[in-house]
Structure 1
Amino acid sequence: RERELLKIRRDSDTKAAQLLKMEKLMQQTKDLMDKRVEDLEEKVRSSRRHRRNSLHQSQMLESQMKTVKGELEGTLDHLQELRNVLRRSQQKAEERKAAMEKLAAGLR
């Protein structure tokens, strides 16, 4: 009977030691999992911040692009007006030159 009691006590001590090891291992695993969850949550927050910043920057660039496009269209219109003025001036100059040559020929 005492042997059985001794054996039961030893088994009990062994089981208790194993249980402690398992609890320690489970705590380490839980701590590791908690750390991984925290890391993933931070990555998600960082990704969201980056996405918001990227969206804001994209919107700013689109606005700037629209402004520049409007300026370019205005500049193009102005250049076309200047081209038309230059053509009219050249045409008048050619007409005057022809008239001068005609007068010069008439004076000879």
Structure 2
Amino acid sequence: MTQRELELVKIRRDSDTKAAELVKMEKMLQQTKDLIDRKNEKSSDTAGCQENMEDLEEKVRSTQQYRRNSLHHTQMLETQMKTVKGELALKLDHLQQLRNVLRRSQQKAEERKAAMEKLAADLM
């Protein structure tokens, strides 16, 4: 595998990992929100509830920030993957053009060789 292909595989793997992390974080966020709702319903102690709410809100903010960062990183990886794909397509096209030039050159060389052999045979 070429370096670019290895990079592309790594980017895909990282993207898949980040997507799975995002799903986990969303579940965690939902669980935290559910916990906040239950705490609000059950708690009659407003001071204790306020402290728990602040902790939970901080966790929610932290989770949302992590989710935003993960999403941004995933988007960057996807952009890099598209760039690498584009570069690979250009390289492939260029290699195909070079292969065609090589085939034509080989064909011309064979034709010249045959013509030289014919001339050599005519001279004898």
* Fold shared by both chains (TM-score > 0.5): yes
Q: Give the match's secondary structure for 1:62.
A: helix
Q: Which residue matches 1:87?
A: 121
| Structure 1 partner of 2:96 | 62
Match for residue 19 of structure 1? 53
Does residue 71 of the first structure (1) align with residue 99 of the second (2)?
A: no
- Between the aligned residues of both structures, percent identity stands at 5
| Deviation sequence 1:17-61 (CA, Å, 0-9, x none) | 100000000100111111111111000000000000100111011
CA distance, structure 1, for counterparts of residue 83 and residue 97 of structure 2: 21
TM-score (norm 2): 0.62
Counterpart AA for 1:70: R
Q: Unaligned regions of 5+ residues in structure 2, if any?
A: 1-43
Report how many residues are paired.
81
Distance in 1 between the 2:101 and 2:79 partners? 33
- Please show how residues 2-13 of structure 1 align to structure 2 within 5 Å: 11-13=45-47
Runs of 4+ in 1 over 4 A off after TM superposition: none
**Structure 1 runs not aligned, ≥5 long:** 1-7, 91-108
Q: In 1, distance between residues paired with 2:54 and 2:91?
A: 55
Structure 1 counterpart of 2:87, which letter? N
Structure number with bigger Rg: 1
User: Whose relative contact order is higher, 1 or 2, with alpha carbons under 8 Å and at least 6 apart?
Assistant: 2
Match of 2:19 in 1: none
TM-score (norm 1): 0.71
| Matching residue within 65, 76, 81 for 1:31 | 65
One-letter code of the match for 1:61? L
Q: Aligned partner of 2:64: which letter?
A: K
RMSD of the alignment, in Å?
1.0
